[in-house]
Amino acid sequence: MATTGSLARDLLIAAQTPRILIVEATPGPARRRWLEALPDKSANPVERAFSVSCDFGSGGPWGGVSGLFAEVFPEIQSQRPDLVERHSLELVSVLPRLRRSLTVRNPSLTDLAAPEEKTRNYAADRAFRVVHGLIDLLDSWKSGASADAAWAIACDDFDLAGAMSRCFFAELMRRRAELMNLRLLIGVGPGGGEEVRASFKAGPPVQVAAADLADEPFPAPDENEAARIAHDLEQQIGGDRIEMQINLPQLIRLWELAGRPDKLLRAKFFGLETYDTLGLYEDALRYGSGVLAMAHEHAPDDHQLQWAIVFKLLMSHIGLQDVQSSLALAESEGMKTTERNAGWRAHLLYLIAMFHARFSTPRDLVKGEQYLDLALETIQSANQPAGVLHFQSVFNRNGLAMIRTFQGRFQEAIELCQDGIARLNAHLGADEHRLHRSVLVYNIAQVYVATGSLAEAIEHYSAAIAMDPNYSEYYNERGNIFLRLDRLDEARADYLRAIDLSPPYFEVFANLGQCFRRMGRMSEAIEAYSRALDLQPNHLLALLGRAKANEEIGRRDAAIADYTAALAESPEEWEANASRGVLYYEAGDLTGSLRDFDRAIELRADRPDLYNNRAIVLADLGRYRQSENDITVALSLLSAENDKSELQTLLESVRRKAEGEMSAAFP
């Protein structure tokens, strides 16, 4: 008989079961069954319960998430096909089998480029956009199908989850635990509760309990049976990459049980390659752990495989901004692996140049240029087809254009990109390397932004958009230029298009909020800022923007709350202190107002308006001599005489009050 620990039992019979309950217990079927039974024992009735395993080993990077969506997808597809179309990218990310039936809307050239032409890697935040898109999908569907229904999700093996699974459930509970009426029941091994609790840094409170359960392992095939099943599964998969992705966790587990490191090597490399390409860098490195050593031992003559492993490991490390690991790997295994192939060596040297010139802090532009020149020499000495030679040379000089931009040598950077475009147009077919051609145009646009040549920047952004019309970031960035030029309708259109083309990301909503606020559309601005803050809580621009919009329409308490949150993130924001000081004054909180103006003046002692405002607060507090001093400082900071008249009037009033106070003290 399994018995529950006293803390877990107390939680179950409590008046309010916690939104997130972590249960420490021995892993196995007993824990799984116990978690599944928890909703029925809870004091809070549950209309629907889900049970999933988050174990990376059995479910891959989306373990648990894929199980949840596999269960609800048929209902969503039946009831809300519009949501399926809107979130097709997110759905095929967690359920690869849907790639056979769903068409991903609005693919960019980064999505469509052949592997040999994929010169742009996804930013690490793209995977987190998928997370937020999935949450939006679930929320939109549940709000219509069962808005008030209480759901419980039992997530077993959470301590074994991959990065994306952990992120999804943490963000789901942070963003929608209350609104969607969710409870999360988490199973971890003994002693693992506190570490998992720390991953739920925001959102509802988390409680950790313990359960004393039977030690009952999951059944597993023996070595021979595992080998037979794995062989049959490989035959079934054939060369189908979708099937390989779907069955990868099972295949890895079976080859591990079968004691076949040679087979395990190929399967784990597939995981490294696939998830690095998709931008799930932390999970890709989990597949890549130990793979290079396995390749040296079990495929010593397969140098191409060894280079492919090194390259994907490098790209995953740099995707996580881990420059030190990237450099260490490049300068050790990378240099050894590329000894036999000049093309590989040139690519490696280019990467090392980027590590120094782009990603390191501080940047070492001299060393970066040296490695680029060495890479170019290697390209030219390699025996490669003419088309490859032209492309790699252009790609290399694009790296130099980046360095020239960092050096402030902007015209040289533009000319390098223009020369690259001309060379590709002269020597490659129109359909070859379309992605990199668009990147070169985009890079020119960025240089023009850096020089303040905004008309030329818009021209080149528009050209890049014509080449890659579904790339969301282009619209967001062009929208920022329109905003700078006060072309607000065009900025708004670009931001809305950027939003339509991508799973949600907070930057574009914050920018849209700025645009609406400039248009005087404060309610819409608040809505956009709130959307940004839902995705990225405590984002400074959105907090400050929403505070100002709330202030503008007289929502004083909301504005004070936003300024307070902004100052918690960045105490050096003198304008936020000053604005909150005004609001506190209007609310009659003179002490709070004075504290804020003291801080604002501490940060910006050259602002006469701050002394003016503090003088008013001090006068209302009856501290007339201090008020008089502030007015005198404010007058000294003003140069125009016509700006001083109001202050002179205030000064005379304060002096009269001070004199009256003195007369009352000494009759």
- What are the structural domains of the chain? 3-116+123-212 (3.40.50), 221-259 (no CATH), 571-665 (1.25.40.10)
Tens of pLDDT, residues 17-54: 689 999 999 999 999 999 988 877 766 778 899 999 99
Task: Check whether 216 has a pLDDT greater than 90.
Answer: no
Give the pLDDT confidence score for residue 2 in this predicted structure.
36
Give the pLDDT confidence score for residue 42 in this predicted structure.
67
pLDDT-derived band at 642 (thresholds 50, 70, 90) equals low
Closest CA to 402 of 435, 434, 355, 361: 355
Give the pLDDT confidence score for residue 13 in this predicted structure.
44
- Strand-strand pairing, 20-24 and 206-212: parallel
Q: Give the contacts of 615 (CB within 8 A, at least 6 positions apart).
A: 627, 628, 630, 631, 634, 650, 654
Task: Check whether 88 has a pLDDT greater than 60.
Answer: yes
Q: Which two tokens stand for residue 597?
A: 């103006």
Task: Check whether 463 has a pLDDT greater than 60.
Answer: yes
The rounded percent of the chain whose pLDDT value lies above 70 is 96
State the Cα–Cα distance between residues 608 and 633, nearest whole angstrom.
Answer: 7
State the Cα–Cα distance between residues 30 and 533, nearest whole angstrom.
Answer: 40
What's at 534, amino acid-wise?
D
Tens of pLDDT, residues 223-244: 999 999 999 999 999 999 999 9
Tens of pLDDT, residues 123-152: 999 999 999 999 999 999 999 878 889 999
In eight-state DSSP terms, residue 356 is I
- Rounded mean pLDDT of 564-575? 97
Give Rg (Cα) of the chain: 30
Peptide bond connecting 362 to the previous residue in cis, omega within 30 degrees of 0: yes
State the Cα–Cα distance between residues 19 and 177, nearest whole angstrom.
Answer: 7
Burial class (CB in 10 A: 0-12, 13-18, 19+), 476: buried
Give the pLDDT confidence score for residue 222 in this predicted structure.
96
Closest CA to 94 of 50, 138, 156: 138
Q: Are 631 and 615 in contact (CB under 8 A)?
A: yes
Give the pLDDT confidence score for residue 665 in this predicted structure.
46
Give the pLDDT confidence score for residue 16 in this predicted structure.
57
Q: Which two tokens stand for residue 416?
A: 């390098």
Give the pLDDT confidence score for residue 40 in this predicted structure.
75
Tens of pLDDT, residues 102-128: 999 999 999 999 999 999 999 999 999
Task: Check whether 1 has a pLDDT greater than 70.
Answer: no
Task: Check whether 664 has a pLDDT greater than 60.
Answer: no
State the Cα–Cα distance between residues 578 and 597, nearest whole angstrom.
Answer: 6
Task: Check whether 3 has a pLDDT greater than 50.
Answer: no
User: Which residue blocks in 331-364 are alpha helix, DSSP H?
Assistant: 335-337, 342-354
Give the pLDDT confidence score for residue 661 in this predicted structure.
64
Backbone angles phi and psi of 205, in degrees to 5: -60, 150
**Distance separating the N- and C-terminal Cα atoms of the chain:** 91
Q: Are 368 and 412 in contact (CB under 8 A)?
A: no
State the Cα–Cα distance between residues 208 and 201, nearest whole angstrom.
Answer: 14
Give the pLDDT confidence score for residue 8 in this predicted structure.
52
Q: pTM here?
A: 0.94
Tens of pLDDT, residues 522-561: 999 999 999 999 999 999 999 999 999 999 999 999 999 9
Q: Give the contacts of 510 (CB within 8 A, at least 6 positions apart).
A: 528, 529, 532, 539, 541, 542, 545
Task: Check whether 570 has a pLDDT greater than 60.
Answer: yes
Cα–Cα–Cα angle for 103, 107, 113, nearest 5°?
A: 115
- Rounded mean pLDDT of 352-378? 97
Mean pLDDT of the chain: 94
Q: Are 197 and 206 in contact (CB under 8 A)?
A: yes
Task: Check whether 574 has a pLDDT greater than 70.
Answer: yes
pLDDT-derived band at 5 (thresholds 50, 70, 90) equals very low
Q: Which two tokens stand for residue 63?
A: 């373990």
Q: Are 219 and 12 in contact (CB under 8 A)?
A: no
pLDDT-derived band at 9 (thresholds 50, 70, 90) equals low
Give the pLDDT confidence score for residue 201 in this predicted structure.
85
